[in-house]
Amino acid sequence: MSRRIAFDTLGCKLNQYETDSIASQFLNAGYAIVPFADQADVYVINTCTVTNKADRKSRNLINRALRSSGLVGAAAQTASAARPVENGASVATLERPDPLVVVTGCFAESHKEELEAEGLTYVVDNKAKSHIFELVEGHFRGEVLHPASAGSDLFSYTTAEPVFHTRSMVKIQDGCDNYCTFCIIPYVRGHAASRPADEVLQSVRETVRRGYREVVLTGVNMSRYRWEDMRFGELIEQILAIPGDFRLRISSLEPDTLDDRFFEMLHHPKMAPHLHLCVQSGSERILLKMRRQYTLAGYEAIVDRIRREQPGFNITTDIIVGFPGEEEQDFQESSRVARNLGFGHIHTFKYSVRRGTRAERMPGHVPEKEKSRRSEIIRAISEQTKRSYRESLIGSQERMLVERIDPVARGYGEHYVPIQLNSQGVRENEFVDVRITGITAGDDPVLLAEPVESRND
């Protein structure tokens, strides 16, 4: 009987990519991938620590897996079996290895000592994450392996099978050297590192060969991509030159080092007309306190340039409210930016204290109640601008990628907007040219569409 393995992932698309790749290794080795709520032999939790809320979700998932596996309250032998031994040693002492709960990702980095002291989970840091399959296989051979014995490798992930997503993500970069004052990511992901360009290109080719129609590039700070003399814009250019019927999308992007070559690539027919450009605050004063690598004026110039050249281009963003020292005037400036830049979506965060960051030591921390008030205001603005943007697409044509049929066809257009249409004559993982005919009600409206004859791009 196949061993059963369950996955759950929190946080960014980079985490999602890494989970997809790891899950593919287990799938190809004959494991049965089951829902996280089901009974399993292995639970893998890829955690996030970007906010207090993410920490709570990570801890809740860990506790849930421990209860499902029976490891909570188990005998001391189970705890010692799950705890990594010192110095990378390996011992074969377990005749019938117990279920295993693997905790990896950024919460595992920031709470490593705490998790290892509890002794109930197998804690794998981000640098060893790509070796989880080997570590689990060792466990079921009766070995107790320390994750350090697997070595460190940020980019040795296999091309993912379509396990969890129709779109395929490709990792091009990891880590960050910006050290924004609110952000813990450089401490849990490490210094910026770029994947060799030939590996990126080969991964995209393999992804397209396997039939994926949408490739999503992911990393921590992709705009800082550097491999030898190649920068981000040139890498995009080479990816777009790869043959095949696919489109390219870029996940969350910092707006600090984008060059003319990159902006030229936004006009390519394979490039999805959508960017998630993080603004974080509409106040120049707060951006400076955050140690962001751009000004609001510079950010607005980027948005203006894109919209002048492609009026329907979808720009989404992140906004943090309640940063230490954020006064009402600063918040009003963020509200103005949220209203005036016409974002297709705003991901709103309430500032969370991250241990060890400079913002933790700053004066003027905003009360939680006030942060909640400000967050609700930005969320309301986001709902308005999202609906306004999606309504502007009514009457236009979109190239929809069908992701599932249940029973209507659902997927996303090139502008990264959700679309549904009658499923007759369409199949999953295929492009369908559609005309947008309407929009649903609610806070997260879906575009309604009908098929049209294929257009010539």
Residue 200 lies in a domain: no
Mean pLDDT, rounded, for 334-348: 97
Structural domain span for residue 413: 397-451
Residue 219 lies in a domain: no
Are 278 and 318 a contacting pair, CB within 8 Å? yes
Residue 447 to residue 72: CA distance in whole angstroms: 46
Stretch among 16-20, 81-85, 184-188 having the lowest mean pLDDT: 81-85
**Of 150, 172, 201, the domain-final residue:** 150
pLDDT at 171 over 90: yes
Give this prediction's pTM. 0.86
Residue 172 lies in a domain: no
Q: How confident is the model at residue 202 (pLDDT cuts 50, 70, 90)?
A: very high
Residue 267 lies in a domain: no
- pLDDT at residue 76, rounded to an integer: 34
Average pLDDT, the chain: 89
Burial class (CB in 10 A: 0-12, 13-18, 19+), 441: exposed
Check residues 453 and 132 and name the one with the higher pLDDT.
132
Q: How confident is the model at residue 454 (pLDDT cuts 50, 70, 90)?
A: low
Residue 259 lies in a domain: no
- pLDDT at residue 82, rounded to an integer: 41
Residue 243 lies in a domain: no
Q: Name every residue whose Cβ is closer than 8 Å to that of residue 38 and which is 6 or more positions away in sequence.
A: 4, 6
Residue 257 lies in a domain: no
**Of 114, 134, 150, the domain-final residue:** 150
Q: Name every residue whose Cβ is closer than 8 Å to that of residue 198 and which is 6 or more positions away in sequence.
A: none
How many domains does the chain contain in total? Answer: 2
pLDDT in tens, 349-399: 999 999 999 999 999 999 999 999 999 999 999 999 999 999 999 999 999
CATH code at position 133: 3.40.50
Q: What secondary structure, in 3-state letters, does the chain show? A: CCCEEEEEECCCHHHHHHHHHHHHHHHHCCCEEECCCCCCCEEEEEECCCCHHHHHHHHHHHHHHHHHHCCCCCCHHHHHHHCCCHHHCEEECCCCCCCEEEEEEHHHHHCHHHHHHHCCCEECCHHHHHHHHHHHHHHHCCEEECHHHHCCCCCCCCCCCCCCCCCEEEECEECCCCCCCCCCHHHHHCCCEECCHHHHHHHHHHHHHCCCCEEEEECCCHHHCEECCEEHHHHHHHHHCCCCCCEEEECCECCCCCCHHHHHHCCCCCECCEEEECCECCCHHHHHHHCCCCCHHHHHHHHHHHHHHCCCCEEEEEEEECCCCCCHHHHHHHHHHHHHCCCCEEEEEECCCCCCCHHHHCCCCCCHHHHHHHHHHHHHHHHHHHHHHHHCCCCCEEEEEEEEECCCEEEECCCCCEEEECCCCCCCCCEEEEEEEEECCCCCCCEEEEECCCCCC
CATH code at position 429: 2.40.50
Q: How confident is the model at residue 167 (pLDDT cuts 50, 70, 90)?
A: confident
Residue 457 lies in a domain: no
Are 62 and 119 a contacting pair, CB within 8 Å? no
Residue 336 to residue 299: CA distance in whole angstroms: 14
Q: How confident is the model at residue 423 (pLDDT cuts 50, 70, 90)?
A: confident
| Single-letter amino acid, residue 295 | T
Are 323 and 332 a contacting pair, CB within 8 Å? no
pLDDT at 87 over 60: no
